[in-house]
């Protein structure tokens, strides 16, 4: 019987993940501004007197939050974190 050495052990090849891309597209800011404008426009068509003012303010704030979120989502979909 002839002795044969065991086969060499190879380490698996490393897996490299792409580095996160840092970008400053400004999409969240643009989205927030567009959302605020649209929200204010919609809110101004609701109610009368002080109710109209409150609805306009709520529309501006809600639109800015929603628009900023959409803008951030656009950045993430393009690989920007």
Distance CA 69, CA 27 (A): 9
Whether the predicted model's global pTM rises above the 0.95 cut: no
pLDDT at 54: 93
Q: How confident is the model at residue 20 (pLDDT cuts 50, 70, 90)?
A: low
Please give the full DSSP string across 10-74, using - where no structure is assigned. -PPPP-PPPPPB-----HHHHHHHHHHHHHHHHHHTSSSTHHHHHHHHHHHHHHHHHHHHHHHHH
% the chain with pLDDT above 90:
43
Domain ranges in the chain are 27-77
Q: Is the pLDDT of residue 81 over 70?
A: no
Could you read off the pLDDT of 30-42 as tens digits, one per residue? Answer: 999 999 999 999 9
Give the span between the Cα atoms of 61 and 54, in whole angstroms. Answer: 11
Could you give the angle at which helices 50-77 and 27-44 cross, rounded to 10 degrees?
150
Q: Please, what is the average pLDDT of the chain?
A: 86
């Amino acid at each position: 019987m002839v002795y044969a050495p065991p086969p060499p052990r190879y380490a698996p090849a490393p897996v490299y993940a792409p580095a996160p891309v840092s970008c400053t597209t400004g999409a969240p800011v643009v989205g927030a501004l567009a959302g605020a404008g649209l929200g204010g426009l919609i809110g101004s068509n609701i109610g009368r007197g002080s109710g109209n003012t409150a609805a306009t303010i709520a529309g501006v704030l809600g639109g800015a939050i929603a628009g900023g979120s959409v803008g951030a989502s656009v950045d993430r979909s393009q690989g920007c974190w």
